[in-house]
């Protein structure tokens, strides 16, 4: 089958959508499918094109059996609504300009957010006369409304109309959570929505000995290390982490590591320095292949979001990597994510944006190594059984195959 996949992000970028797309496409290509990804030149999150790439109209490359087409990109940091919107819109424009040069397809897949990338899939599917599968990784525009990024009612109404249009036109919709499904079905996706959750690449993320040299390099050797790994954005409520670090600053057992980039990172660094938090190490975004090294020195994975109703339906993808690496999870998220942690028995859910609860949970973990050992083993077993990325990719492939067969039968 010929699969044409549109994604705003792709390796060497290492954010969650880039990883999900790449790991799925790698499995599909290995199964004998012709897979083409249409994406941007890598620049997330700093807005700087990764060397050795140069921003140009069109570039083609091959990565692990995947044909990768990169289109001219408005590179901008992952902050500021206007510039980011320009980045997303240019992707849609470039896809429209080059649609006739894109290869033939039996199925077109696009992933949202970003929503303009999602809509680009509709355009390409019409030109290629192929069914369109729309992947929903986050409810949009709901997610940006929840954090107050847009307040103009006319813009909101237009975006909500586009959302309903996309759900109505897609042949299949793939949601990353069960909780998104009622909303999607109520807005036009009834009868065609499937769930393929995130997972972990178990060939990369697996338990390994603690990298003591790396711990020494960071100045956290011998410490109980609590780590937040991922985007430092408006949605994540990372002030609670710094406030918890402040509560534990006089307890020499603890160290905090924050790794990643995002719109809030500079402000959080300023707050850390203003508080004089020497127990907090802040790292830039790390290459994906280096992530196991970081996870190996961690005793707790902090998975945090703001205390907003929308986020009860979100499942942060980092929980699966944490499980696979055998790192117990402290989850500051309500809803479906908390249910997964409880079912897996791999950590503890705490109230979101509650630094006192976070600090107390860390004390309990440090005081009870046997509990942490049980959580580590339970998480590894649960992710192998339920969230192996290769198994999930094959489920996604089945959905695309069914969409293709339905289109052929209709013809």
One domain, residues 128 and 216: no
One domain, residues 66 and 194: yes
Burial of 191 (0-12, 13-18, 19+ CB in 10 A): exposed
Say how many domains are in the chain: 2
Tell me, yes or no, whether 204 lies in a domain. Answer: no
One domain, residues 139 and 220: no
Cα 305 to Cα 358: distance, rounded to the nearest angstrom: 13
How confident is the model over 307-334, as pLDDT tens digits? 988 889 899 999 999 999 999 999 999 9
Cα 317 to Cα 92: distance, rounded to the nearest angstrom: 26
One domain, residues 185 and 278: no
Task: Identify the residue whose tokens are 């999930």.
Answer: 392
Are the C-beta atoms of 264 and 236 separated by less than 8 Å?
yes
Tell me, yes or no, whether 207 lies in a domain. Answer: no
Which pairing describes strands 66-71 and 58-63: parallel, antiparallel, or unpaired? Answer: antiparallel
Q: Please give the pLDDT value at position 187.
A: 92
User: In angstroms, how far is CA 342 from the centroid of its own chain?
Assistant: 21
Q: Please give the pLDDT value at position 411.
A: 64
One domain, residues 328 and 397: no
Tell me, yes or no, whether 189 lies in a domain. Answer: yes
One domain, residues 173 and 230: no
Tell me, yes or no, whether 402 lies in a domain. Answer: yes
Q: Please give the pLDDT value at position 148.
A: 59
One domain, residues 141 and 238: no
Nearest CA-CA partner of 43 in 32, 58, 33, 54: 54
One domain, residues 226 and 94: no
Cα 112 to Cα 169: distance, rounded to the nearest angstrom: 14
Q: Please give the pLDDT value at position 56.
A: 96
CATH number reported for the structural domain that contains residue 300 in this entry = 3.40.50.2000
One domain, residues 401 and 286: no
One domain, residues 374 and 231: yes
Tell me, yes or no, whether 188 lies in a domain. Answer: yes
Nearest CA-CA partner of 81 in 7, 144, 15: 144
One domain, residues 250 and 231: yes
Residues of the chain with pLDDT under 50: none
Copy the structure tokens of residue 246: 């402040």
Cα 81 to Cα 212: distance, rounded to the nearest angstrom: 41
One domain, residues 96 and 179: yes
Are the C-beta atoms of 96 and 106 separated by less than 8 Å?
no
Tell me, yes or no, whether 254 lies in a domain. Answer: yes
2-6 β-sheet, strand order: 58-63, 66-71, 34-40, 2-6, 107-112, 132-136, 172-175, 193-195
Copy the structure tokens of residue 197: 């959750």
User: In angstroms, how far is CA 160 from the centroid of its own chain?
Assistant: 23
Tell me, yes or no, whether 43 lies in a domain. Answer: yes
Q: Which domain holds residue 334?
A: 212-386
- Residues in the chain, how many? 411
Tell me, yes or no, whether 206 lies in a domain. Answer: no
């Amino acid at each position: 089958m010929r699969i044409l996949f549109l994604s705003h992000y792709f390796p060497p970028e290492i954010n969650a959508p880039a990883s999900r797309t790449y790991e799925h496409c790698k499995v599909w290509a290995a199964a004998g499918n012709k897979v083409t990804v249409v994406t941007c030149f890598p620049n997330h999150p700093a807005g700087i094109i990764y060397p050795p790439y140069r921003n140009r109209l069109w570039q083609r490359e091959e990565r692990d059996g995947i044909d990768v087409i990169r289109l001219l990109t408005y590179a901008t940091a992952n902050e500021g609504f206007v510039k980011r919107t320009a980045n997303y819109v240019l992707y849609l424009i470039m896809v429209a300009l080059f649609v006739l040069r894109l290869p033939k397809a039996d199925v077109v897949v696009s992933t949202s957010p970003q929503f303009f990338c999602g809509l680009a899939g509709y355009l390409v599917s019409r030109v290629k006369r192929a069914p369109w599968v729309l992947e929903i990784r986050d409810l949009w525009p709901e997610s940006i409304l929840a954090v107050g990024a847009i307040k103009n009612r006319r813009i909101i109404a237009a975006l909500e109309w586009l959302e309903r249009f996309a759900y109505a036109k897609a042949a299949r919709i793939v949601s990353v959570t069960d909780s998104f499904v009622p909303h999607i079905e109520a807005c036009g996706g009834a009868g065609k929505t499937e769930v393929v959750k995130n997972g972990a690449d178990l060939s990369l993320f697996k338990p390994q000995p603690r990298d003591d040299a790396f711990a020494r390099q960071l100045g956290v050797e011998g410490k109980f290390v609590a780590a937040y790994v991922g985007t430092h954005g408006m949605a994540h409520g990372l002030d609670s982490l710094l406030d918890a670090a402040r509560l534990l600053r006089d307890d020499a057992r603890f160290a905090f590591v924050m790794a990643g980039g995002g719109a809030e990172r500079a402000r959080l660094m300023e707050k850390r320095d203003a508080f004089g938090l020497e127990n907090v190490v802040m790292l830039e975004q790390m290459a994906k292949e280096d992530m196991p090294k970081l996870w190996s020195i961690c005793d707790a994975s902090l998975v945090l979001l703001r205390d907003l109703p929308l986020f009860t339906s979100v499942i942060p993808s980092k929980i699966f990597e944490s499980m696979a690496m055998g790192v117990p999870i402290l989850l500051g998220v309500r809803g479906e994510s908390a249910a997964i942690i409880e079912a897996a028995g791999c950590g503890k859910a705490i109230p979101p944006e509650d630094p006192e609860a976070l600090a107390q949970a860390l004390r309990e973990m440090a005081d009870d190594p046997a509990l942490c050992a049980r959580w580590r083993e339970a998480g590894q077993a649960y992710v192998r059984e339920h969230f192996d990325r290769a198994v999930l990719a094959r489920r996604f492939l089945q959905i695309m195959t069914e969409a293709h067969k339905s289109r052929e039968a209709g013809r």
